[in-house]
Structure 1
Amino acid sequence: MNEQPKTRTDLIGSTGSITRRVTIIDAKEYPTGVSVRVSDEMGEEYWTDLEDIELD
């Protein structure tokens, strides 16, 4: 028997966070702080603030 998934309307609009391993691939220092370009384990690349990353 093929069951259909149930929509979880109680979860829609909720917020949370996901922790991913990242590798810094570029970094720029500005008077306001350091911005880093990262590549995550999903293959996505994006810029973020260094203060948002916990380095090993």
Structure 2
Amino acid sequence: MQLNLLKKQLFNDVLISLLFRMKIGKHKDGGNDKLIQNAVILFSIKRAEYV
């Protein structure tokens, strides 16, 4: 049960980060884009580990 909750949370975080980087992509050129999206995904994974 707990594991399923974790997976769901991770999925939600990744989904949010995908939406987030789409927004960023519209406003900026590709420079910082990659860095930001990687940071968001890494943060999501780390957060899932500590919950």
TM-score range with shorter-chain normalisation? under 0.3
| TM-score, structure 2 as length reference | 0.25
More strand by percentage: 1
Identify the structure with bigger relative contact order (alpha carbons < 8 Å, sequence gap 6+). 2
Rg comparison, structure with higher value: 1
| TM-score, structure 1 as length reference | 0.24
